[in-house]
Structure 1
């Protein structure tokens, strides 16, 4: 462990004096460490760690005053234990004042010190990013198990310089009023925190040579690391962080217009006896991007929506309304909203609609405008320009419906809900002999513009194309509950 860093305990670690004079307790919100038969020098060092910290050499002097080298070695094992507990912070100094501090965000934390070579060049990881947290500038990366607080202009200036390969002398020339020792300390801190890489003579870094990391995009790896437990210390799961501050959204979105279309409801009891098995439906399911000359009918669209997404039960609970629907939804919150964009459908005019899953009705939002057509065009391009969807179902999320209850994992849960809805739609469409296709991308800004929704309150996160099958294509061997079209 380097002598140069300032060592301290995280701010949430308390140093508690015991009733017994030779006993001391260090306690976090999750667990405590009790030190027995603590000599005065060790007690002073532990208190110092909890109250601002000191360098390793300073702490060693405190311990050695009345314990000698044996107690100093024992103290080093304590520091290792603090590190592995995720308690020990490391700060880079400029003239004795901290300019950046590495704070552990996981329990299995490590801080492998790497010697900084003055002549070598270093560069910031492409996964590292700065953002403001409660008035402080924080450097983070999904590769790291710590976050680095940049405490003054010097830390921020050095990080900015490291956006491109730089040596210590390069930084000294670019940032006036800073010492070589400070530059080395900060680079050493960032290396140990896995925010930085040394540049080899051929101009490459280890991060680039790693073929696994090379295939991760910045936003994907960040989203993965921050929406699951293990590599962050953020609150996670069902926290109800807005309870008593913001009212939860209702389970059913208010109507968006007064122009309603009542939809066909199939007889599920008949379907139970006439439809083919789930295994046959699963085995014949496939994405179909070309459609029959005769378009999908209003009755078919009504049956499809009823079987996929209707509200089966609405219930008021302590923390708001929940519903039951044909597909599973996280927390029974069902934040997803369906917006059928009709291109060709017998019995329903072309345009944009919102599906009311409780009333099982469509509410007309817009005619077939240029921007509505652009959504269909965007879907056609996503499908390889094989066939223009007869009906495109834009799947939007009322984000606050689920983010009100869940923290860190909210958006990830929404995407999982889209996935299970996709599968439900695929299976129902296959059973009905329709042509289904889940899309991999869409234009959320365009959707918000067309619907008039607030992009940050509700916009599209999935799209599903639907239409009739080409005559003669293979269909599941089942009877339809829809009357034959004449």
Structure 2
């Protein structure tokens, strides 16, 4: 172990001293160290209350317990490090705080500080949290708190390759030895670029790797899943969005009993499902749109859960039965409906007018056509939005990831129903949420488009 870092117990760990043992506790784990000699007990108390270097702690143990105490201390310390309970600091610049168990703090070995250059990883990022400047990376299992403005200045300089000598130029009161310790801390926590990037990492973009690592367990200590952090603080949104207009179009409801008798088989639907980008001369009808939405997206049942708010059941699955997604059919060509942007009310099975045709709506249709790679304008563009706070009220860390999964299952349901109805469906990979916000006047952070789906009639074979 490197003895130049100052080490300490993480703030999240409670230390309870008893006669011949010490109990260490985190939120979900308890560790008892029994039959401890006085030197070991003193060293662990230092870890919690008076951070020190490894060499100082070893000396403290040896003076009281002898050389055998040092070996035992090193063994305990390695175990605590692996649990993610030990912080490493380079004062007065920075502290590395582990965010996971099974933590790896890899002490670097640099042979020639004058020749080797160092650069911040392209995945590293700085942000402010509770008044502290934090350096994080989806490659790391730790976060680094920058304790001094000079640490931020050093990070800024590391946007370009630096040796330990060039790094300190222009930054007051930073010795080369201190800079080397700081670089060692960054290396040990995977915050710096490798000379040769992992071949599997080359194709990752910054935002993709960050989203992947922070919406799943393993590389962070953030609460994840259904934590209900706003329970008794903010009222959950109702399952049905308040009316957007008094201009309403009632939609056709198919007879499900008849469909059970006449529909093609499920296997045939699965085997024949395709993304279709060419459309027939005759546009889709209001009856066909009504049947599609009824079969794919209507509310089948509303469930009232006292403090938890309203939930619902629909033909497609939704995590926690929350169903945060909304459907906005943008009608371009449809027999029986005027071109405009509408909102689908899944409880009443009807459309309500959101906006007459406008420059923004024209842009949404054009954008969909370009994204689809088609020469023809779509007959109907189904814009899928999320009322974010329906999900954020309950879930943490993985809420947006779950929203995208819900978009996927709604896509698939629309695909399968469209195929069963002999229509031409096609999901789109990306859309413009800002144009949608301008077209509707809806706050971008309250509700925004998260998916688009094109629908039309099939071209005659």
Task: State the TM-score, normalizing by the size of structure 1.
Answer: 0.93
Q: Shift in Å at residue 176 of structure 1?
A: 2.4
Deviation per residue, 1:66-123 (Å, 9 max, x gap): 2111110111011100011110110012xxxx32111111100011111343211100
Which residue in 2 is equivalent to 1:441?
430
Q: Shift in Å at residue 132 of structure 1?
A: 0.9
Residue 70 in structure 1 maps to residue 65 in structure 2:
no
Equivalent in 129, 139, 150 of residue 133 of structure 1:
129
Which residue in 1 is equivalent to 2:29?
31
Cα distance in 2, alignment partners of residues 337 and 140 from structure 1: 34
After TM superposition, list the pairs within 5 Å mapping 1:139-288 onto structure 2.
139-197=135-193, 205-207=195-197, 210-288=198-276
Cα distance in 2, alignment partners of residues 393 and 459 from structure 1: 14
Which residue in 2 is equivalent to 1:338?
327
Deviation per residue, 1:224-257 (Å, 9 max, x gap): 0000111110001010001111111000001111
Equivalent in 81, 84, 94 of residue 83 of structure 1:
81
Cα distance in 2, alignment partners of residues 134 and 230 from structure 1: 23
Cα distance in 1, alignment partners of residues 429 and 212 from structure 2: 18
Which residue in 1 is equivalent to 2:10?
10
Cα distance in 2, alignment partners of residues 329 and 471 from structure 1: 36
Q: Shift in Å at residue 34 of structure 1?
A: 1.6
Q: Shift in Å at residue 367 of structure 1?
A: 1.3
Which residue in 2 is equivalent to 1:315?
303
Cα distance in 2, alignment partners of residues 299 and 28 from structure 1: 59
Which residue in 2 is equivalent to 1:47?
45
Q: Secondary structure at the match of 1:25?
A: strand
Q: Shift in Å at residue 182 of structure 1?
A: 1.0
Cα distance in 1, alignment partners of residues 320 and 365 from structure 2: 32
Residue 380 in structure 1 maps to residue 369 in structure 2:
yes
Q: Secondary structure at the match of 2:46?
A: helix
Deviation per residue, 1:423-475 (Å, 9 max, x gap): 00000000101100000000000001101110001010000000011123xxx
RMSD of aligned alpha carbons? 1.0
Cα distance in 2, alignment partners of residues 408 and 246 from structure 1: 19
Task: State the TM-score, normalizing by the size of structure 2.
Answer: 0.98
Query: Residue 251 of structure 2 contacts residue 290 of structure 2 at CA under 8 Å; is this kept in 1?
Result: yes
Residue 391 in structure 1 maps to residue 389 in structure 2:
no
Query: Residue 39 of structure 2 contacts residue 69 of structure 2 at CA under 8 Å; is this kept in 1?
Result: no
Cα distance in 2, alignment partners of residues 439 and 287 from structure 1: 10
Q: Shift in Å at residue 30 of structure 1?
A: 1.7
Cα distance in 1, alignment partners of residues 227 and 459 from structure 2: 49
Equivalent in 389, 413, 424 of residue 413 of structure 2:
424
Which residue in 2 is equivalent to 1:290?
278
Q: Secondary structure at the match of 2:81?
A: helix
- More displaced stretch, 31-40 vs 66-75: 31-40
- More displaced stretch, 380-389 vs 179-188: 380-389
Q: Please identify runs of 4+ aligned residues in structure 1 that moved more than 3 A.
A: none
Q: Shift in Å at residue 171 of structure 1?
A: 1.4
Residue 118 in structure 1 maps to residue 113 in structure 2:
yes
Q: Secondary structure at the match of 1:138?
A: strand
Structure 1 spans left out of the alignment, 5+ residues: 199-204, 473-486
Structure 2 spans left out of the alignment, 5+ residues: none
Residue 106 in structure 1 maps to residue 100 in structure 2:
yes
Q: Shift in Å at residue 189 of structure 1?
A: 0.1
Query: Residue 284 of structure 2 contacts residue 456 of structure 2 at CA under 8 Å; is this kept in 1?
Result: yes
Cα distance in 2, alignment partners of residues 464 and 172 from structure 1: 54
Equivalent in 368, 371, 374 of residue 357 of structure 2:
368
